[in-house]
Structure 1
Amino acid sequence: MHRIARRSFLAGLGGAALTACTTRGPEPSTADGLGASASPTPAPPVTVNTAVGPVLVPGAPLRVIVLDTDVLDSALTLGITPIGAALPALDTRFPEYWPASRVVGISRVGQAGAPDLASVRALRPDLILSNQTRDGDRYDQLRAIAPTVLAQTSGAPWKANFQLHAQALSRVDAGVAFLGAYQKHANQVAQALSAAKLSGRKVSLVRFVEGGGIRMFGKQSFPGIVLSDAQVGRPDAQNVDQSDVEIPLDQIAKADGDLLLYATYGDPGRAGTDAALASPGWQALGAVRAHRAFPVDDQLWFQGIGYTGANFMLDELQRFLGA
């Protein structure tokens, strides 16, 4: 999807959901004669059941730091611009599916999985969001800085994680609204594909990872779940209850499908993308010969891991399939 279309979609979906449903603190009272100048009553703290047990977090937190890509999507989707964020080591920019105006004020606090704790502390957060996979081994250090909410992992449980993030951010009603809007969108895409007799097309997902080889993504992954919600088929080798499967280049035939979507994390040369796309095995794929193999944005398709990213993916999927 072009950036302008993405921004229009984001403004329409986010604005409608947040206007209707974002939890707000009580309005200031005028009974004491102070009128509108009185400070609003602070929102009460909230107990959140996290992967490490109950955590008491401040109500309606504003100084939020996110330490992985899923919580970045959650916070921005729910109308909160984090004061700090950690990004994967090989990412040099914030995801471009967000307008620059939404991320311009976010400070980088190191890389996901190895945040700079001094930078985190210096920003004086009142809430930190991450997951055990990334930051379980430094949980005590993080919670010494600010209340820290960890999901168990990112990826497959992204929908449940979003609701956890919504609770921690005092945006529960907005979280429910985004869930409903996404489900409606997924159903609309599924219906459009069915009407165009495209539901039977098998969509392959391949990611070239610098230092991690060639990976095919199964049903128990963020993009795999989005495809499932759109009711599209998957190639046999990817129609499995796994997140991803690494394959050598000489088994690239397993990545074939009616539609092949591929992305690169890191440098295309070092990730093996360039070599793979030039190989006889890749050139022999049915999707490649039919001109149905398309590069996609890695930060959207494999790192978005949230409702805003998922909604953009649904639109791109529909466009790629030609419905």
Structure 2
Amino acid sequence: MSLPRTSHTSLRPLAWVSLPVAATLALTGCGGGGQDGTGEAEASETRAVEHARGESEVPVDPRRVVVLEPVQLDTSVALGVIPVGTTVLNEAAGVPGYLGEEAAGIESVGTVPEPNLERIAALEPDLILGTETRHSALYDQLASIAPTVFMASQADPWAENVQLVARALGDEEGATTLLDDYEERCAEVAETHGTEDSTAQLIRPRDEVLTLYGPTSFAGSTLECAGFTTPEHDWEDISLDISPERVLDAQADLVLVTATDVDAPDAVPDAIRDNGDAFPELHVVDRSFWITGVGPLGGMTVLDDIDRILSAAE
């Protein structure tokens, strides 16, 4: 199985540490030993997992996992390990709905760029999953709470990050099955709709720019896996920001615009709406899984959405 590689992106490491953290860690027993749901210390076998910070001894069967990255949340849920805590992209929006009812009750431990150490420690995790590019400054403190495994970057090939999460959870076979199923679904969509000679472009409207997602992004790679080709651009890592005046640079056979509310009257930016003739096949898609649904479940949800869109257009 081969998925497109994604180049690294440079993000500013988190540098804050709130003052009450040390006291919280002391009160919750921050020596890194896992505890069961009753709060009683549990002796557990461990195994070594190599990751971006070296090697960590993690429980053979982690039960109280905290995840700090969307791909870690998606993969854990897909493998049947429901985390006790997760960061979210937006505290108000919470855990993405596409992950289902089981995930809806996962406790928030802050946002992806700013995890809350007190909340994490209070959950008494036996395994923490994070990311070097986002959480580097917090590694030592996280590792003092529980064994901690870091991905190198959230912009690395998402399938490789899925495999790392699975290794940390002790279910590499499960990850292989999930990724194989994803590729089979890609092939099915491509064959059903004859996408081989078509281009597709995902656009995410932001305040003053339009972000185009390239072939190595999560959504872009899924479109390519489903047979589409992404129009050529000078990609800045996984994406490219253009001004609204350059909107015609986003043309493709299939153009997808992300929105928080796909039915909102202003979901399509004026720059695109005013050039409607240049975008005959334009569709608004749900940002919660097209952008933040990184992982096997998100990938399958995006593929289902592509299938729905293409079926409706035929």
When the two structures are superposed, what TM-score results if normalisation uses the length of structure 2? 0.79
CA 1:160 to 1:114, structure 2 compared with 1: closer, same or farther past 3 Å?
A: same
Q: Distance in 1 between matches of 2:252 and 2:130?
A: 34
Q: Distance in 2 between matches of 1:75 and 1:275?
A: 31
| Contact 1:90–1:265 under 8 Å retained in 2 | no
**TM superposition shift of 1:235:** 2.3
User: Residue type of the partner of 1:258?
Assistant: D
In the comparison of the two structures, how many residue pairs are matched?
A: 270
SS of residue in 1 equivalent to 2:299:
helix
Q: Distance in 1 between matches of 2:232 and 2:294?
A: 24
Q: For residues 268-314 of structure 1, give each alpha carbon's deviation from its aligned partner in whole angstroms, at most 9, with x where no partner exists.
A: 99xxx9496223x54314453x2x21111112011111011101111
Q: Distance in 1 between matches of 2:73 and 2:293?
A: 8
Within-5 A mapping of 1:80-119:
80-89=81-90, 92-99=93-100, 101-119=101-119
What residue is the counterpart of 2:15 in the other structure?
Answer: none
When the two structures are superposed, what TM-score results if normalisation uses the length of structure 1? 0.77
User: Residue type of the partner of 1:226?
Assistant: T
Q: For residues 12-65 of structure 1, give each alpha carbon's deviation from its aligned partner in whole angstroms, at most 9, with x where no partner exists.
A: xxxxxxxxxxxxxxxxxxxxxxxxxxxxx9873121110111111111101000
User: Residue type of the partner of 2:197?
Assistant: G
Q: C-alpha root-mean-square deviation of aligned residues, in Å?
A: 2.5
Q: Does 1:200 align with 2:200?
A: no
Specify every segment of 5 or more residues in structure 2 that has no aligned partner in the other structure, as ranges.
1-41
What residue is the counterpart of 1:62 in the other structure?
Answer: 63
Task: Give the number of the structure whose residues are more often helix, by fraction.
Answer: 1
Moved beyond 6 Å, runs of 4+: none
What residue is the counterpart of 1:293 in the other structure?
Answer: 282
Within-5 A mapping of 1:134-283:
134-194=134-194, 198-209=195-206, 213-237=209-233, 242-264=237-259, 274=266, 277-279=269-271, 282-283=273-274
Q: Distance in 2 between matches of 1:193 and 1:43?
A: 50
Q: Distance in 1 between matches of 2:239 and 2:119?
A: 33
**TM superposition shift of 1:87:** 0.6
CA 1:265 to 1:105, structure 2 compared with 1: closer, same or farther past 3 Å?
A: closer
Within-5 A mapping of 1:27-46:
44-46=45-47
**TM superposition shift of 1:199:** 2.5
CA 1:117 to 1:259, structure 2 compared with 1: closer, same or farther past 3 Å?
A: same
Q: For residues 188-210 of structure 1, give each alpha carbon's deviation from its aligned partner in whole angstroms, at most 9, with x where no partner exists.
A: 1122122xxx4222111111235
